């Protein structure tokens, strides 16, 4: 389904999405999966299945039907921080950067809205699959999965960057991102549903990332993962999440 680019969406107001046929992810058959499709959530309210410590998360709809989705309203980033599009563009131009590159390098623009899935207290292996669509963003157009989330706010992230057509595995410590692996030439289109999958092998140190059924990333890390999981975006990205599924026995 092709989604129309974001046109000033408010909580509970449809995004006017026109979606191409992409089958919903099948429920895992093995014991232990936790599947969230937001159908028990209330449109216009804050999510109950996720705790949202950073960002402007709410339950909305996709404009096609009444099914609830998890919605991060990145437009509120600019309004709250006072970031001005023209000023930001001028700053980027002065440094020979695009606004997206500036957002990656300027500490004041490094802002990562996150929502923590409260139905899985600890994840050490298996799969996490989320379906999402990025429908807006001037500074950034990114969304993904966080995992190994710690009480101090540190975590790992697998995220898609639609602007640079890349898939990134990163470590975020005290709000600063460090790239562990970046894969370019990923078909990361805006305004379309994407299925992003993180797979953690038994032992917790071998990670792989796939987008729409195609594996792009394989990484070994030193320390086994352990912690909470959830969703993320970056700065002013406007994103809707249709589902979030965790299977500790997934491969």
List, for residues 110-127, the tens digit of each pLDDT value.
Answer: 689 999 999 999 999 999
CA distance 104 to 140: 9
Residue 125 lies in a domain: yes
Q: Helix or strand or coil: residue 246? A: strand
Q: Which sign, positive or negative, has the C-alpha torsion 83, 86, 90, 92?
A: positive
| Phi, psi values for residue 188, rounded to 5° | -105, 75
CATH code, 204 = 2.60.120.560
Count of alpha carbons within 13 Å of 57, Cβ hemisphere only?
25
Residue 21 lies in a domain: no
Residue 78 lies in a domain: yes
Share of the chain above pLDDT 70, in %: 75
pLDDT value of position 20: 38
pLDDT value of position 15: 44
Residue 178 has pLDDT above 80, yes or no: yes
What's the Cα-to-Cα distance from 146 to each of 99, 172, 225, rounded to whole Å?
Answer: 24, 10, 11
Residue 25 has pLDDT above 90, yes or no: no
Residue 17 has pLDDT above 60, yes or no: no
| Phi, psi values for residue 108, rounded to 5° | -70, -20
CA distance 45 to 31: 31
Residue 70 lies in a domain: yes
Count: domains in the chain: 1
Residue 134 has pLDDT above 60, yes or no: yes
pLDDT value of position 14: 39
| Phi, psi values for residue 53, rounded to 5° | -75, -25
Residue 20 lies in a domain: no
Please state, rounded to an integer, the average pLDDT across all residues of the chain: 83
Residue 132 lies in a domain: yes
The parent domain of residue 75 ranges over 34-247
**38-96 pLDDT, tens per residue?**
999 999 999 999 999 999 999 998 878 899 999 999 999 865 554 545 455 444 445 45
Residue 27 lies in a domain: no
CA distance 118 to 231: 11
């Amino acid at each position: 389904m092709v989604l129309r680019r974001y046109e000033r969406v408010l909580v509970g107001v449809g995004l006017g999405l026109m979606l191409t046929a992409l089958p919903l992810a099948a429920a895992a058959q093995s014991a232990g999966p936790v599947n969230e499709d937001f159908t028990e959530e209330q449109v216009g309210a804050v999510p109950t299945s996720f705790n949202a410590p950073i960002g402007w998360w709410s339950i909305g709809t996709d404009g096609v039907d009444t099914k609830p989705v998890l919605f991060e309203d990145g437009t509120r980033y600019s309004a709250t921080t006072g970031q001005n599009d023209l000023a930001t563009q001028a700053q980027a131009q002065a440094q020979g950067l695009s606004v997206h590159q500036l957002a990656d390098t300027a500490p004041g623009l490094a802002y990562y809205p996150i929502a923590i899935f409260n139905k899985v207290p600890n994840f050490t292996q298996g799969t996490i699959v989320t379906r999402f669509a990025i429908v807006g963003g001037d500074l950034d157009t990114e969304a993904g999965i966080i995992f190994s989330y710690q009480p101090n706010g540190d975590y790992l992230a697998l995220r898609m960057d639609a602007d640079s057509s890349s898939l990134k595995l990163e470590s975020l410590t005290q709000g600063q991102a460090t790239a562990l692996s970046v894969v370019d030439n990923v078909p990361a289109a805006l305004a379309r549903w994407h299925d992003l999958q993180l797979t953690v092998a038994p032992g917790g140190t071998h990670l792989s990332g796939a987008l729409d059924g195609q594996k792009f990333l394989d990484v070994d890390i030193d320390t086994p993962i352990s912690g909470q999981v959830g969703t993320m975006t970056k700065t002013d990205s406007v994103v809707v999440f249709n589902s979030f599924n965790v299977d500790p026995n997934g491969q």
